[in-house]
């Protein structure tokens, strides 16, 4: 086994695996999951919808096309816009990078979703991070300079951003969409909480690709994401997508969930309301940034205390995300997912005690 390193790609050897904490704490607020399970009355209907699935068969093209047609209709996409289905949006991001030439550069404003750099590095693509401004604001001038200097093939923009929750201004997004030097992947994972989207710009911006997921809406266990883009893009990305990447159970569950979009929209509205209350409560204890996602990023008042406070919260049965190890602008920062009113109250009480 000592010689295995010579068989592994440098980009794989140089990185650690994505860490998912083991165990299930009483209050889990670390992964931007919805705190709300499928309502009981819908669970029975969902199980009934799955009853006749032929698990001995692979997913059918017709089932995939039904899902695509429903997504396109609900998003009001024109006939020139294609859709790719994925086993979570992470797989779609990976497939985009797989489809690019091996020697390309990709850029993103940082800090941002760690998987952009993780996937790019593992696949041997060069990743360039462009630091955000004070307050985690987008630095359009620096991004334009990076586009000119590095000639990247791709620009990743999380909208709103993770881990900051910031929704970049419309003017900044329009300025970047006008740039002809790179394709732009807009990751709208938190769209239900931001209620802002660039999906409507697809017909006017041929280099724009928009990615979404159902994970943040209460369906993280399904592992389903999708991409919308000009068909010139989706025709190529279909060649990279593994066959049957979305299971029959997942596809049927997505069809079911889309029939009850109002239930998930109501849950998102409740989370947005709780986000406002949680933000106001945190302002009296820590430095916290306004968020248009389902989480809040905050910085602790005592330098170097993130590990200790994170540990105390964990001892109290509450798991949040410790981002301090990333350093830079995230030094002394934790991130908390917006939970139920009871979960948020327990978190605030535990944080106050820990502080």
How far apart, in whole angstroms, are the C-alpha atoms of residue 182 and residue 80?
20
Is 48 within the bounds of a domain? no
How far apart, in whole angstroms, are the C-alpha atoms of residue 292 and residue 271?
11
Is 348 within the bounds of a domain? yes
Q: Is the peptide bond before 247 cis (omega within 30 degrees of 0)?
A: no
Position 42 pLDDT exceeds 90: yes
Position 187 pLDDT exceeds 60: yes
Together in a domain, 298 and 195: no
CATH assignment of the domain containing 28 = 3.90.1150.10
Stretch 170-186: mean pLDDT:
91
CATH assignment of the domain containing 221 = 3.40.640.10
Together in a domain, 283 and 135: no
Position 242 pLDDT exceeds 90: yes
Tell me which residue range forms the domain holding 336. Answer: 4-39+262-354
Together in a domain, 116 and 166: yes
Could you give the percent of the chain with pLDDT greater than 90? 90
Is 239 within the bounds of a domain? yes
Position 288 pLDDT exceeds 60: yes
Of 224, 239, 260, the last residue of a domain is 260
Together in a domain, 198 and 88: yes
Stretch 336-340: mean pLDDT:
98
What is the rounded average pLDDT for all residues in the chain?
94
Is 44 within the bounds of a domain? no
Q: What's the pLDDT score for residue 107?
A: 97
Position 181 pLDDT exceeds 90: no
Together in a domain, 213 and 232: yes
Stretch 247-252: mean pLDDT:
97
Q: What's the pLDDT score for residue 19?
A: 75
Beta strands 321-322; 318-319: pairing state: unpaired
Together in a domain, 266 and 122: no
Together in a domain, 249 and 175: yes
For residues 85 and 63, the answer to whether their CB atoms sit within 8 Å is no
Together in a domain, 149 and 24: no
Beta strands 295-299; 287-288: pairing state: antiparallel
Per-residue model confidence as pLDDT tens digits over 12-24: 877 787 777 777 8
Stretch 316-327: mean pLDDT:
96
How far apart, in whole angstroms, are the C-alpha atoms of residue 330 and residue 287?
12
How far apart, in whole angstroms, are the C-alpha atoms of residue 105 and residue 323?
26
Per-residue model confidence as pLDDT tens digits over 77-104: 999 999 999 999 999 999 999 999 999 9
> 128: which strand partners?
107
Place of tokens 């024109």: 78
Position 240 pLDDT exceeds 70: yes
Together in a domain, 20 and 107: no
How far apart, in whole angstroms, are the C-alpha atoms of residue 266 and residue 261?
9
For residues 76 and 264, the answer to whether their CB atoms sit within 8 Å is no
Of 260, 284, 305, the last residue of a domain is 260
Position 2 pLDDT exceeds 70: no
pTM of the model: 0.94
Give the 3-state secondary structure of residue 287.
strand
Of 197, 229, 260, the last residue of a domain is 260
How many domains in the chain? 2
Is 26 within the bounds of a domain? yes
Position 278 pLDDT exceeds 80: yes
Listing DSSP states for 3-38 in one string gives: TGGGGS-HHHHTSPPPP---S--SEE-SS---S-PP
């Amino acid at each position: 086994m000592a010689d295995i390193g010579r068989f592994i790609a440098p980009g794989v050897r140089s990185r650690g695996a994505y860490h998912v904490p083991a165990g299930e704490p009483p209050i889990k607020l670390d992964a931007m999951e919805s705190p709300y399970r499928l309502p009981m009355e819908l669970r029975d209907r969902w199980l009934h919808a799955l009853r006749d699935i032929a698990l001995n068969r692979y997913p059918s093209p017709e089932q995939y096309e039904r899902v695509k047609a429903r997504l396109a209709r609900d998003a009001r996409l024109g006939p020139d816009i294609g859709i790719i289905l994925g086993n979570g949006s992470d797989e779609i991001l990976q497939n985009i990078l797989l489809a690019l030439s091996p020697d390309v550069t990709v850029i993103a404003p940082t800090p941002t979703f760690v998987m952009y750099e993780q996937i790019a590095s593992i696949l041997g693509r060069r990743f360039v991070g462009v630091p955000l401004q004070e307050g985690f604001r987008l630095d359009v001038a620096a991004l334009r300079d990076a586009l000119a200097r590095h000639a990247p093939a791709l620009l990743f923009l999380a909208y709103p951003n993770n881990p900051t929750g910031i929704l970049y201004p419309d003017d900044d997004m329009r300025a970047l969409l006008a740039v002809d030097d790179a394709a732009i992947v807009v990751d709208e994972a938190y769209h239900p909480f931001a209620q802002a989207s660039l999906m409507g710009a697809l017909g006017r911006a041929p280099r724009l690709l928009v990615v979404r997921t159902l994970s943040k809406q209460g369906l993280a266990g399904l592992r389903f994401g999708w991409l919308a883009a000009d068909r010139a893009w989706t025709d190529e990305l279909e060649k990279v997508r593994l066959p049957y990447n979305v299971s029959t159970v997942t596809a049927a569950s997505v069809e079911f969930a889309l029939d009850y979009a109002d239930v998930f929209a109501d849950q998102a509205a409740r989370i947005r309301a709780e986000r406002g209350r949680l933000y106001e409560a945190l302002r009296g204890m820590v430095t916290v940034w306004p968020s248009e996602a389902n989480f809040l990023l905050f910085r602790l008042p005592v330098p170097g205390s993130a590990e200790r406070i994170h540990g105390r919260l964990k001892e109290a049965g509450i798991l949040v995300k410790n981002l301090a190890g990333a350093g830079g602008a995230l030094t002394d920062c934790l991130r908390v997912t917006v939970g139920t009113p009871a979960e948020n109250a327990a978190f605030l009480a535990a944080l106050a005690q820990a502080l």
